[in-house]
C-alpha cells in the first residue's frame, strides 16, 4: 500500500514534487538552449520551424509548431498548468485526508485519482504527435519533414522516425494498368533536309502530328546525326534542335563528366561493316544492318520515337530467342532472357534479385548464331541445338550514352528503351566477337580499366564488427596461426568516431595505437583498407563540443550539394544529419568539392597509414526524403530510423539453405545462444499498421518539368525516386539538379578519390573499391558486389555478376565471400572461399551481429581455403599479366565460356562455369550437399584439350557439348588448364610480396598440334608509370619452348621447374639453351604424357627472364 496513514507520505510528496520539477525543468532547459542557439544561416527560426510526424520523449520538446497549431510558448504554459493541476489535486487530497478520517482504501483511491488525472494530462501533452506541414520554401525534397530540438550528447540519442523516409506511393508504369502506352498515342517524327557527308549524314526531325505530351512536354524539333566513327563503330544521336544554357543538362551528358576517350578517325561511309538507312513510313525510323550477315542489328521501324522533356522512348525488333548480356547492375542470370524489365537507377539497397541496385551500365551484347549455306550465305538459327551442325556466331554491342533514370523492357520479339531525360545517343559496335565489342567500347567510350597494384590480388579480410585495433590484430594473428595467407585487413564503419568520415574513434581506434598496429602490419608486407562513406556529418550548432572540422572546411570551400534556395542540403546517413559533396558542381562549375576531398584525404592519411580506400553509400544514399536536416541539426547526432543488424528487433538469424539438416549441432548451438536476444527483440518489436493501397500519379505540366514526381514512374526498388536518395530537386553549384545526374554521383566520387590517392601516394596506382559505378568507372576503381546474402543462390549469382562487370570494363570485381547478410556455415563458406579464389578481387566480409566467418573459424574451411589459395597465389603472375593486358588492350580478366568458344550455342546460357583469362576454367560446386558438379568442356569440336589442374592429366572420353558429372567433394574445386597455353607460376607465400620473391615455374599445356603460347608481364607492382617493365613471350612448338624477354625490368628470381603436358612420347634428350641436361634434371611420365624439368634454379643465377631469347628443347 502506498499510504497507510491519514495524510500523504512526506517521502512520496517530496519525490512527486521533485520528479515533476525535473520534468518541467528538463524541457524548459531544452527549449532555452534552443532559443539561445544561433541558427545556421538560411534556416528557419526555431519558432517557425515546420513539423514532423513522430512521438517525442520528455526531453524532446520540439521547437516546432504543434499539430493543433500551438506555439512552443503556449505548449510550455499548458505543460506547467498540468503540473500545477497535479500539485493542486495533491494538496486538496492532503487537506481532505487531514480534516476527515479517511479509511486506507478511500485514501488510496483519492490519491490514485489525483495522480492519474494530472499525469494523464501531462503525458497527453508531452507525447502528442506532431504533424507534417509540408515543404519549407526553398528546401529540396517534396514534402520535406523536419524535427528540431537540442541535445548536448555526443552519441546518438534521438532515433529518426521511419516516416521521414517514406515517399509517395508510386506505382511503376510497367505495373500500372491505367498507364498510357506512348506507342498508341504519340505521332513520331518526320525526317527532312537530309545532309550527307563522307562520314555520315544529318537530318531535321519534326513532330509528325499533334503533340501527345504523354509523360512530359513533346520536343517539336529534333536533329539527327549519324557518324561512321570507325569501320566497326556507328554513332547515332537524336537531340533537340534548340538547346541553351537553361536546359543543356536536361538533354546532354557533359563531356567534362563523361569524356569520350579517343580521337575519332572518321572513315568513309563505304568502308563501314554496318549500314544505316532511314524512312518516313509512316513516321521516321532508322535501321542498322550488318553487311556480312545482312541481318538487322537495330531498327525502330514498326514503332514511333517519343521525345519529351522528361521521357524518351525508342525500341527495336529483335530476333526470336535472342541472347542479350549486360544492362546492369542487377542480380540475375548472365543471359538476360526475353521477359523482364531492367531499371537503371542507382539505389541504396541490398542485393535484391532482378531489381535496380547500385550501378548503371546502359550497354548490352547481342550474340546470334548462323549456319552457312553452300554458296556461303548465312542463315540465322533461332534454336541452335544440333550439335552436329556447324555454327558461326556474330556479336554486336549497343551503348546508350545517357545518365538519366532508365528502363529497358525486354520482350519476346523486341527491346524498348525508356529514359526520364537525356538524349538518344547510341553507339553501335560491329564486333564480330564479344571481345571485339568490349575492346571497342572501352577504347571509344569508357576508357581502359585501371592497372592494379600487385598486392591487391592477394586475399582480403573484412567484417562489420571489428571493434578496435586489438580485434584487428587478433584476426591477423589467427591467419598466421593457421598458416592462411592474408594480404589486407579492412575495417567497416566501426573505426569511425560516431560514423564520421576522416575521424577515428579516439578510444577504440586511436591514432597512436593505430600507428603501432599499421607499422607492424606494413613491416610484414600486409595492408590496410578502411571504408569511407559518401556523406559528411553536419555538427550540432547547439553544442560547442560537437566540433567536426571536415564539415567546416567543406562549407568554406562551397563543397556541398544545395537546396533550390541556395542553402545547404541536409540528408541523413549513419552519423546523423549529413551533407553531400557536390561532385557535379565541382566538375561543371568550380565547386570546391574535389579539392576539399583531396585535402581531407591527405590530412587523414597522415594520421592513418591506409593503403587504399573503400567507397560506400555512393548512389548516393540518404535515409530520409528531402533536406530533412535543414531545421533539425540541433538533434545531431541521431540514430537511423531502422535497427542496425544485431540490435533488438533486427537480429541476424538467417542461415544458408539446408543449414539445419547438415549442421544440426551448429544450428542448435546458435539457436540456444540467441534465445535471450530473440526474447528481447520480440519485446521491443511492433506490428506494422494496416494500410490501404492508394497510388500517386502525376501528369505533365505544360512548359515545365516535374522532377520530384516525374509523370513516368520507373520500376525503382524504393518506389518514389526521392526515397533513400537525394531529392531530385537537390541542386548542384551552377544550377544543375540531381534529377539529371543522380546516376553518376558514385562515378564521380570515384574520380575524386582517385585524384586524392594520386596525391596521397604520389606516383603509385590508387587502389579503390566502390559500390556505385557508371560506364567508365573501371578506369579509376574496382567494384564489389554489394550486400549479398549468405545463401547458396547468391554464391551462384556472383558468377554472372562478375561476367557482367567484365562487359562493363570493371575487371577488378569480387563479392562478399561467404555472404554479407545472414550467418554463413562451414559448407557454404568452404565452397565460396574456393570459388572466390578465382575472382580478381578476393575478400571475405559479413555484417554486424552475424557469426564470425573468417576462414579459420571452421576446420574444413581452413583446409578448403588453403587449397584454393595455394592455386591462386601460384597464379598471381598470370592474373597480374591479365590485368596488364586489360589495361593495355581492353581484354577481359574473368570470361564467359561463350566468349572464348563463340561458335557453341549451348554455351549461351553457361554461367555456372567461367574462365580466368583464356587458360584456366573453373567449375565450382554451387549446390548444398552435393559432392559432384555438372560441367561442359568446350572447344572439343575444334580439338581443344583440357588438363586437370591437380593431376595434370588430359580429360578424355567427353563429347562435344556434353554435360559431364565431375567429382567435387567438399574441399575440392574442379579447375582445368586449357591446351595451347603456357602459364607462368610462382611458389606461393603467405603474402604477395613473399610470393614475388620465390622461384618461377612454367606450366606448358600443349594442344593437339603440339603448340602452346603465353605471356608474362613484370614491373615493380605499384608505380603508375613504371620506370621499367618487361614482357616475356612464351612459344612452344615443334619440340621447343622459346622464351623471348622484352623490356628493362630486372627480376632476379630463378626458373625452378618447367612442366610440359600433352607430350605423347618420352624424349631421348632435353636441352636448355643448347646444352643437354643431365637426366637428374628431367623425368617423363608415360601415364600422364608429362615431361617435368626440376631443380633448374642454379642455372639461372641472375634470374630467369634476363638477357636475350633462350629456349628449352626436347626430342
User: Residue 26 has what pLDDT?
Assistant: 37
HSE on the CB side for 111, CA within 13 Å? 21
> Is the separation of the CB atoms in 786 and 358 below 8 Å?
yes
> What's the CATH fold of domain 175-446?
Immunoglobulin-like (2.60.40)
User: Residue 661 has what pLDDT?
Assistant: 43
User: Residue 150 has what pLDDT?
Assistant: 36
Omega of the bond prior to 805 within 30 degrees of 0, cis? no
User: Residue 264 has what pLDDT?
Assistant: 56
Please say whether the dihedral angle defined by the alpha carbons of residues 514, 515, 516 and 522, taken in this order, is positive or negative.
Answer: positive
∠ at Cα 782 (777, 784), nearest 5°? 115
User: Residue 765 has what pLDDT?
Assistant: 99
Measured CA to CA in angstroms, residue 227 lies from 224, 230, 272 at distances of 10, 9, 11
Proportion of the chain in helix, strand, coil states, percent, rounded to 5: 30, 25, 50
How far apart are alpha carbons 636 and 629 in whole angstroms? 9
**Among 397, 333, 340, 386, residue whose Cα is nearest residue 363:** 397
Active-site annotation holder among 27, 619, 825, 854: 619
Does the active-site annotation cover 654? no
The CATH architecture annotation of domain 134-151+159-170+492-510+520-644+710-784 reads Alpha-Beta Barrel (3.20)
Residue 1070's SS3 state is strand
Q: Cell numbers of 628, please?
A: 530533412
CA 166 to chain centre: 23
User: Residue 658 has what pLDDT?
Assistant: 80
User: Residue 646 has what pLDDT?
Assistant: 76
Q: Cell numbers of 353, please?
A: 534479385
∠ at Cα 876 (873, 878), nearest 5°? 135
How far apart are alpha carbons 358 and 350 in whole angstroms? 9
User: Residue 142 has what pLDDT?
Assistant: 56
Measured CA to CA in angstroms, residue 159 lies from 57, 62, 178, 365, 705 at distances of 11, 14, 39, 47, 35
Pick the CATH number of 884-1114 from 1.10.3720.10, 2.60.40.1180, 2.102.10.10, 3.40.50.880: 2.60.40.1180
How many other C-beta atoms can be found within 10 angstroms of the C-beta atom of residue 900? 23
How many other C-beta atoms can be found within 10 angstroms of the C-beta atom of residue 258? 20
Do the domains spanning 175-446 and 884-1114 agree at the CATH topology level? Answer: yes
Q: How are strands ordered across the β-sheet holding 920-922?
A: 894-895, 914-916, 920-922, 975-978, 946-948
User: Residue 123 has what pLDDT?
Assistant: 52
- Spell out the SS3 assignment of 216-284: CCECCEEEEEEEEEECCEEEEEEEECCCCCCCHHHHCCCCCCCCCCCCCCCCCHHHCCEEEEEECCCCC
**Among 845, 622, 601, residue whose Cα is nearest residue 742:** 622
- Return all residues near 263 (Cβ < 8 A) that are at least 6 apart: none
Q: Cell numbers of 503, please?
A: 575521424
How many other C-beta atoms can be found within 10 angstroms of the C-beta atom of residue 99? 10
User: Residue 19 has what pLDDT?
Assistant: 38
Q: Are strands 1012-1018 and 1070-1072 parallel, antiparallel or unpaired?
A: unpaired
**Among 523, 450, 515, 463, residue whose Cα is nearest residue 489:** 463
> Is the separation of the CB atoms in 537 and 502 below 8 Å?
no
Can you tell me which residue has the cell 520554401?
A: 137
Q: Cell numbers of 695, please?
A: 497510388
How far apart are alpha carbons 156 and 642 in whole angstroms? 13
How far apart are alpha carbons 210 and 223 in whole angstroms? 19
Does the active-site annotation cover 619? yes
Can you tell me which residue has the cell 528502363?
A: 407
Does the active-site annotation cover 616? yes
Query: The pTM is what?
Result: 0.86
Measured CA to CA in angstroms, residue 546 lies from 27, 148, 499, 538, 541 at distances of 21, 16, 13, 9, 8
**Among 403, 240, 229, 384, residue whose Cα is nearest residue 322:** 384
- Spell out the SS3 assignment of 49-95: ECCCCCCCCCCCCCCECCCCCCCHHHHHHHHHHHHHHHHHHHHHHHH
Q: Which residue ranges make up each domain of the chain?
A: 10-133, 134-151+159-170+492-510+520-644+710-784, 175-446, 884-1114
**Among 723, 510, 744, 490, residue whose Cα is nearest residue 619:** 744
Backbone angles phi, psi at 380, to 5 degrees: -65, 135
Active-site annotation holder among 232, 494, 533, 616: 616
Mean pLDDT split into 10-residue runs, the chain, 1115 residues? 36 38 35 32 31 29 36 54 60 53 53 59 46 47 44 64 93 96 98 95 98 98 97 97 94 92 62 96 97 97 98 98 97 95 97 97 99 90 94 98 98 98 98 98 97 99 98 99 99 98 98 99 99 98 96 98 98 98 95 97 99 98 97 94 81 80 46 42 43 82 95 98 98 97 98 99 99 98 98 98 99 99 97 99 97 98 99 99 99 99 98 99 98 97 95 96 96 99 98 98 98 99 98 98 97 98 97 95 97 96 92 97
End-to-end CA separation in angstroms for the chain: 107
**Among 969, 858, 934, 602, residue whose Cα is nearest residue 752:** 602
Q: Are strands 406-411 and 414-419 parallel, antiparallel or unpaired?
A: antiparallel
Active-site annotation holder among 435, 558, 787, 1007: 787
> Is the separation of the CB atoms in 1083 and 1092 below 8 Å?
yes
Amino acid at each position: 500500500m502506498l499510504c497507510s496513514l491519514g495524510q500523504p507520505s512526506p517521502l512520496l510528496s517530496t519525490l512527486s514534487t521533485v520528479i515533476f520539477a525535473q520534468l518541467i525543468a528538463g524541457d524548459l532547459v531544452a527549449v532555452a538552449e534552443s532559443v539561445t542557439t544561433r541558427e545556421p544561416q538560411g534556416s528557419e527560426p526555431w519558432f517557425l520551424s515546420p513539423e514532423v510526424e513522430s512521438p517525442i520523449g520528455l526531453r524532446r520538446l520540439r521547437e516546432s509548431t504543434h499539430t493543433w497549431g500551438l506555439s512552443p510558448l503556449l505548449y510550455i504554459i499548458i505543460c506547467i498548468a498540468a503540473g500545477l493541476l497535479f500539485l493542486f489535486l495533491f494538496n486538496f487530497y492532503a487537506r481532505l485526508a487531514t480534516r476527515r478520517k479517511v479509511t486506507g482504501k478511500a485514501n488510496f483511491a483519492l490519491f490514485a485519482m489525483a495522480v492519474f488525472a494530472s499525469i494523464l494530462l501531462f503525458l497527453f501533452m508531452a507525447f502528442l504527435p506532431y504533424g507534417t506541414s509540408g515543404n519549407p520554401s526553398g528546401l529540396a525534397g517534396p514534402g520535406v519533414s523536419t524535427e528540431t530540438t537540442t541535445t548536448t550528447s555526443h552519441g546518438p540519442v534521438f532515433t529518426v522516425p521511419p516516416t521521414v523516409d517514406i515517399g509517395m506511393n508510386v506505382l511503376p508504369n510497367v505495373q500500372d494498368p491505367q498507364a498510357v502506352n506512348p506507342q498508341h498515342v504519340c505521332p513520331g517524327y518526320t525526317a527532312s533536309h537530309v545532309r550527307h557527308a563522307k562520314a555520315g549524314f544529318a537530318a531535321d526531325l519534326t513532330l509528325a502530328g499533334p503533340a501527345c505530351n504523354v509523360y512530359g512536354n513533346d520536343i517539336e524539333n529534333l536533329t539527327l546525326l549519324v557518324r561512321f566513327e570507325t569501320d566497326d563503330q556507328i554513332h547515332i544521336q537524336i537531340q533537340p534542335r534548340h538547346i541553351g544554357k537553361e536546359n543543356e543538362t536536361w538533354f546532354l551528358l557533359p563531356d567534362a563528366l563523361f569524356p569520350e576517350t579517343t580521337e575519332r578517325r572518321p572513315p568513309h561511309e563505304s568502308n563501314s561493316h554496318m549500314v544505316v538507312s532511314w524512312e518516313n513510313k509512316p513516321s521516321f525510323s532508322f535501321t542498322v544492318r550488318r553487311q556480312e550477315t545482312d541481318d538487322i542489328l537495330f531498327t525502330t521501324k514498326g514503332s514511333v520515337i517519343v521525345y519529351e522533356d522528361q521521357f524518351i522512348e525508342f525500341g527495336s525488333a529483335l530476333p526470336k530467342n535472342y541472347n542479350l548480356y549486360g544492362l546492369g547492375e542487377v542480380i540475375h542470370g548472365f543471359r538476360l532472357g526475353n521477359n523482364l524489365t531492367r531499371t537503371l537507377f542507382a539505389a541504396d539497397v541490398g542485393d535484391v534479385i532482378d531489381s535496380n541496385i547500385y550501378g548503371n551500365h546502359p550497354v548490352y551484347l547481342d550474340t546470334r548464331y548462323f549456319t552457312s549455306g553452300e554458296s556461303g550465305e548465312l542463315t540465322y538459327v533461332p534454336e541452335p541445338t544440333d550439335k552436329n551442325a556447324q555454327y558461326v556466331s556474330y556479336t554486336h554491342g549497343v551503348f546508350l550514352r545517357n545518365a538519366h533514370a532508365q528502363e529497358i523492357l525486354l520482350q519476346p520479339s523486341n527491346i524498348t528503351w525508356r529514359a526520364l531525360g537525356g538524349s538518344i545517343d547510341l553507339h553501335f559496335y560491329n564486333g564480330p566477337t564479344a571481345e571485339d565489342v568490349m575492346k571497342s567500347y572501352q577504347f571509344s567510350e569508357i576508357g581502359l580499366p585501371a592497372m592494379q597494384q600487385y598486392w591487391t590480388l592477394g586475399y582480403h579480410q573484412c567484417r562489420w564488427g571489428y571493434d578496435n585495433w586489438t580485434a584487428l590484430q587478433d584476426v591477423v594473428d589467427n591467419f598466421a596461426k593457421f598458416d592462411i595467407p592474408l594480404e589486407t585487413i579492412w575495417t567497416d564503419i566501426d573505426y569511425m568516431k560516431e560514423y564520421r568520415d576522416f575521424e577515428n574513434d579516439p578510444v577504440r581506434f586511436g591514432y597512436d595505437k593505430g600507428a603501432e598496429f599499421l607499422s607492424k602490419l606494413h613491416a610484414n608486407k600486409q595492408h590496410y583498407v578502411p571504408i569511407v562513406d559518401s556523406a559528411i556529418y553536419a555538427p550540432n550548432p547547439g553544442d560547442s563540443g560537437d566540433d567536426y572540422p571536415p564539415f567546416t572546411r567543406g562549407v568554406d570551400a562551397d563543397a556541398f550539394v544545395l537546396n533550390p534556395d541556395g542553402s545547404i542540403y541536409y540528408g541523413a546517413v549513419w552519423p546523423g544529419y549529413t551533407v553531400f559533396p557536390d561532385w557535379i558542381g565541382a566538375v561543371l562549375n568550380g565547386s570546391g568539392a574535389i579539392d576539399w576531398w583531396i585535402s581531407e584525404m591527405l590530412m587523414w592519411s597522415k594520421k592513418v597509414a591506409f593503403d587504399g580506400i573503400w567507397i560506400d553509400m555512393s548512389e548516393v544514399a540518404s535515409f530520409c526524403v528531402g533536406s530533412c536536416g535543414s531545421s533539425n541539426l540541433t538533434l545531431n547526432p541521431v540514430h537511423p530510423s531502422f535497427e542496425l543488424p544485431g540490435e533488438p528487433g533486427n537480429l541476424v538469424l538467417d542461415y544458408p539453405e539446408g543449414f539445419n539438416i547438415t549442421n544440426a549441432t551448429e544450428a542448435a548451438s546458435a539457436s540456444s545462444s540467441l534465445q535471450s536476444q530473440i526474447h528481447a527483440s520480440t519485446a521491443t518489436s511492433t506490428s506494422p499498421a494496416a494500410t490501404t493501397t492508394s497510388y500517386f500519379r502525376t501528369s505533365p505540366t505544360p512548359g515545365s518539368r516535374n522532377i520530384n514526381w516525374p509523370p513516368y514512374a520507373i520500376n525503382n526498388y524504393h518506389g518514389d525516386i526521392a526515397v533513400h536518395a537525394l531529392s531530385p530537386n537537390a541542386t548542384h553549384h551552377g544550377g544543375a539538379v540531381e534529377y539529371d545526374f543522380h546516376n553518376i554521383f558514385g562515378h564521380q566520387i570515384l574520380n575524386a578519390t582517385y585524384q586524392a590517392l594520386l596525391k596521397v601516394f604520389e606516383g603509385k596506382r590508387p587502389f579503390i573499391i566502390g559500390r556505385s559505378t557508371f560506364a567508365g568507372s573501371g578506369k579509376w576503381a574496382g567494384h564489389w558486389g554489394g550486400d549479398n546474402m549468405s545463401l547458396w543462390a547468391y554464391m551462384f549469382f556472383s558468377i554472372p555478376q562478375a561476367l557482367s562487370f567484365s562487359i562493363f570494363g570493371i575487371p577488378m570485381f569480387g563479392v562478399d565471400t561467404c555472404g554479407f547478410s545472414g550467418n554463413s556455415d562451414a559448407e557454404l563458406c568452404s565452397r565460396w572461399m574456393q570459388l572466390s579464389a578465382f575472382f580478381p578481387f578476393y575478400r571475405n566480409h559479413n555484417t554486424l551481429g552475424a557469426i564470425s566467418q573468417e576462414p579459420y573459424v571452421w576446420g574444413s574451411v581452413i583446409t578448403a581455403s588453403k587449397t584454393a589459395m595455394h592455386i591462386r597465389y601460384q597464379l598471381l603472375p598470370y592474373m597480374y599479366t591479365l590485368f596488364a593486358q586489360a589495361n593495355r588492350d581492353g581484354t577481359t580478366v574473368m570470361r564467359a565460356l561463350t566468349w572464348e568458344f563463340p561458335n557453341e550455342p549451348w554455351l549461351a546460357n553457361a554461367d555456372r562455369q567461367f574462365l580466368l583469362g583464356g587458360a584456366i576454367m573453373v567449375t565450382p560446386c554451387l549446390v548444398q550437399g552435393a559432392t559432384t558438379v555438372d560441367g561442359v568442356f568446350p572447344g572439343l569440336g575444334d580439338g581443344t584439350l583440357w588438363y586437370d589442374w591437380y593431376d595434370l592429366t588430359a580429360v578424355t572420353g567427353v563429347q562435344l557439348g556434353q554435360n559431364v558429372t565431375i567429382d567435387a567433394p567438399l574441399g575440392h574445386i574442379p579447375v582445368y588448364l586449357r591446351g595451347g597455353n603456357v602459364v607462368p607460376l610462382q611458389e606461393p607465400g603467405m603474402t604477395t610480396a613473399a610470393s614475388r620473391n620465390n622461384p618461377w615455374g612454367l606450366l606448358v599445356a600443349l594442344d593437339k598440334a603440339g603448340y602452346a603460347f603465353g605471356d608474362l608481364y613484370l614491373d615493380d607492382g605499384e608505380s603508375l608509370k613504371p620506370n621499367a617493365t618487361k614482357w616475356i613471350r612464351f612459344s612452344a612448338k615443334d619440340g621447343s619452348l622459346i622464351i623471348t624477354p622484352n623490356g628493362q625490368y630486372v627480376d632476379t628470381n630463378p626458373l625452378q621447374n618447367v612442366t610440359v603436358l600433352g607430350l605423347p612420347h618420352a624424349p631421348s634428350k632435353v636441352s636448355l639453351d643448347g646444352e643437354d641436361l643431365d637426366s637428374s634434371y628431367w623425368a617423363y611420365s608415360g601415364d600422364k604424357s608429362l615431361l617435368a624439368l626440376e631443380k633448374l634454379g642454379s642455372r639461372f643465377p641472375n634470374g630467369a627472364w634476363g638477357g636475350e631469347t633462350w629456349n628449352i628443347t626436347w626430342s
